[in-house]
Amino acid sequence: MDTIGVGLIGTGYMGKCHALAWNGVRAVFGDGPKVMLRHLAEANPDLAAQRAAEFGFEHATADWRDLLADPEVAVISITTPNAFHAEMAIAALEAGKHVWCEKPMAVVLEDAERMAAVAAASGRVAVLGYNYIQNPVVRHIEGLVKDGIIGRVNHVRLEMDEDFMADPEAPFYWKSERSSGYGALDDFGVHPLSLLQTLLGPVEAVMAQLAKPHEQRPVTGGGQRPVETWDIASVLLRLHGGVSGVMALNRSAWGRKGRIALQIFGDKGTIAYDQERMNEFQLFVAEGRPSEQGFRTVLAGPQHAPYDRFIPAPGHGLGFNDLKLIECHEVLRAIGGEAARVIDFGHGLLIERAVHAMARSHDEGRWVEL
């Protein structure tokens, strides 16, 4: 495979992020096929043309199905709102395209189940955009855990907090509608779950409490409307091997902007990480004299692959967009038949099931097994 033709559906936040990844992946990694930016789809035709020019795509269309029909397109990035993922991903796979689809898979579990089934049957690569697991720091943490540097893991804590729903005066919009999903759980709870599953394996049982910090919100034009989603979720977890855990999510957490805080406790040490300082992690290992023991702040560097592909010097820092670029490289490796470090539709389905089990647990006030 000397070249690969790329299609992109959607040109918003994640669409641009994919475009940047496709633009830079070969220059960063210096391997894999030459990337041909072939076809971009965006509902608004003028915007499609503009973005194609900016992002470097040859063709632009307002009809995403044109990408399926384009024989030069081998892989399609799907970055549209969640409600469209299932239809597009399934159609793309059935058209013989590889798929790189943003998370979460779908709003309802049945769609996610179908996506996974079609992907399994297709023989194509079907990867989800869980980019936080691609951070060299997170990859390194994974290695430390697997090498037993902190011993046998016995407990884990996860937090994910942002504040885009924190202002009680902000008007009601679709994120507060039940049709958009449960709220914090699926809106971003899937991110810490992707870390959890990658680092420690799937969740076995959950017990959740969902909460509404704001019971109602002002409606533009006047009046108030009851909020239908839960901006806060608190979850007890039971993982494989008797590991206990807690996950706390809050999308109305004033002052938190991109916090994904992780604490992994083992019988020889502890690891802590916070996405808001994504170029470092904390490591405590119970060795040496107690008088000099302490959490080490380890700065990202070329020892933490594939940081070295971006910068040869330590402590200089990657950015959020670089994580998507690493993910892009993994997608290409998967397409090339290599064992890639990704969350594919099959593994993504486990995350979706965990989310829905949490919601059921909240409704029924009891533990739900997975």
Site for a copy of itself in 108-167 (CB under 8 A): 140, 144, 149-151, 154-155, 157, 159, 162-164, 166-167
184 membership: H or E segment, kind and range: helix 184-187
- Per-residue CA distances from 157 to 135, 253, 261, 289 (Å): 19, 17, 8, 27
> Shortest distance, CB of residue 319 to a copy of itself, whole angstroms?
3
The one among 142, 314, 347, 353 contacting a copy of itself by CB under 8 A: 314
User: Using CA atoms, how far apart are residues 333 and 156, in angstroms rounded to an integer?
Assistant: 31
Choose one: 82-90, 94-102, 115-123, 210-218; the region binding a copy of itself (CB under 8 A). Answer: 210-218
Residue of 220, 222, 223, 289 that binds a copy of itself (CB under 8 A): 289
Judged by CB under 8 A, the residue of 96, 241, 312, 346 near a copy of itself is 312
Distance CA 29, CA 19 (A): 16
Report the residue from 7, 16, 97, 180 that binds a copy of itself according to the rule CB under 8 A.
Answer: 16
Q: CA 8 to CA 14: how far, in whole Å?
A: 10
- Give the binding-site size for a copy of itself (rule: CB under 8 A): 100
Closest Cα to residue 328, out of 130, 113, 155?
Answer: 130
Residue 296 engages a copy of itself in binding (rule: CB under 8 A): yes
Q: How far apart are CA 264 and CA 279, in angstroms?
A: 18
**Buried-state track 270-287, b at ≥16 Cβ within 10 A, e below 16:** bbbbbbebbbbbbbbbee
Tokens of 257: 């902007």
Q: Which of 123, 221, 222, 291: binder of a copy of itself (CB under 8 A)?
A: 291
Candidate segments 94-102, 103-111, 204-212, 219-227, binder of a copy of itself by CB under 8 A: 204-212
Site for a copy of itself contains 26 (CB under 8 A): yes
Of residues 46 through 85, those in contact with a copy of itself by CB under 8 A are: 50, 53-56
Contact 148, 268 (CB under 8 A): yes
What's the one-letter identity of residue 84? F
Give the SS3 label for residue 251.
Answer: coil
Q: Which helix (H) or strand (E) holds 344?
A: strand 343-344
Among 322, 327, 330, 352, binds a copy of itself (CB under 8 A): 322
What are the backbone angles phi and psi of residue 233, rounded to the nearest 5°? -140, 135
Is 244 among the residues that bind a copy of itself (CB under 8 A)? Answer: yes
Q: What's the closest the beta carbon of residue 345 comes to a copy of itself, in angstroms?
A: 25
For residues 227 and 328, give the distance between their C-alpha atoms in angstroms, rounded to a whole number: 37
CB 207 within 8 A of CB 367: yes
**Closer to a copy of itself by Cβ: residue 213 or 336:** 213
Nearer to a copy of itself, 120 or 216 (CB): 216
Q: Which one of 225, 303, 338, 363 is in contact with a copy of itself (CB under 8 A)? A: 303
Q: Tell which positions 178-197 bind a copy of itself, by CB under 8 A.
A: none
Note whether 173 binds a copy of itself by CB under 8 A. no
